[in-house]
Amino acid sequence: MMTLIVAIGAQNAFVLRQGLRREAVAKVVAVCAVSDAVLVAVGVAGFGAIVGRWPQAVTVAAVVGGLFLLGYGFLAARRVFRPQAMHVESGAHSRPVLTAVALTWLNPHVYLDTVLLLGSIAAGRWLFGVGAVTASITWFVALGFGARLLSPLFAKPRAWRVLDGVIAAVMISLGAALLAGW
C-alpha cells in the first residue's frame, strides 16, 4: 500500500519542491492529504466499480492528465536551463495551492491507484482505508516538512538542476505513457 503513496509522481515531486522552497508547505501538504483521504474513502466505498462500468471517464482522465503532466514536465525541463530559478526562495511559485489541487485531481494515476486499485483491495473494509489515509498523511507531512533538511544540498544550483531534470523526466514519461495508452 505504501508503494502507491510513496511512488515518485507529479504530486510527490511538487510537495518535495515546495518543501525545499519552504513555500506554502502546510497548505500544499493539507491539500494533498485531504485529497488522498477523500479519494481513499471514495475507493473503499466502491466507486471503483462504478468507474469500471464507465470506461470513458478513464479515457478522459488519461488525456487531460497526460497533457497536464507533459506541460508540467516541460516547465521542469525549462527550469533546468534557467539558473535564476535554482535558489530556495519564498514567493517564486505564484499559485502553489492551485498547482497542488491540479496535480492531484487532474492526475489519472491518482484515480487508478487510489480509487480503483486501493479501492478494489479495500472493498468496504474501512479500517484498511483508515490505515491508507494515515500512511498518506504521514508521508505528505514527512515529505513536505522533512524536505527542509535537504536545504543545504539544494543551496547548490546543480542540485536543483538534477532535481528538476528528474522531475521533468518522470512527468514527461508519465504524460507520454498516458497519451500513448488511450
pLDDT in tens, 106-118: 877 777 778 777 7
pLDDT at 121: 74
| Assigned C-alpha cell, 176 | 507520454
Q: Report pLDDT digits (tens) over 140-162.
A: 999 999 999 988 888 888 888 88
DSSP tag of 1: -
| Residue 27 Cα to chain centre, angstroms | 14
pLDDT at 101: 93
Instruction: Look at 63 and 8; give whichever has higher pLDDT.
Output: 63
Number of Cβ within 10 Å of residue 56's Cβ equals 8
Torsion of CA 30, 110, 1, 143, to 10 degrees: -40
**Domain residue ranges of the chain, discontinuous segments joined by +:** 2-181
Length of the chain counted residue by residue:
182
Residue located via cell numbers 530559478: 85
- Report the Cα–Cα distance between both ends of the chain, in Å, rounded: 26
* pLDDT beyond 50 at 91: no
Q: Report pLDDT digits (tens) over 43-78.
A: 888 765 666 677 676 677 678 778 877 887 898 898
* pLDDT beyond 90 at 138: yes
Burial of 75 (0-12, 13-18, 19+ CB in 10 A): middle
- Whether the full predicted model's pTM is greater than 0.85, yes or no, is no
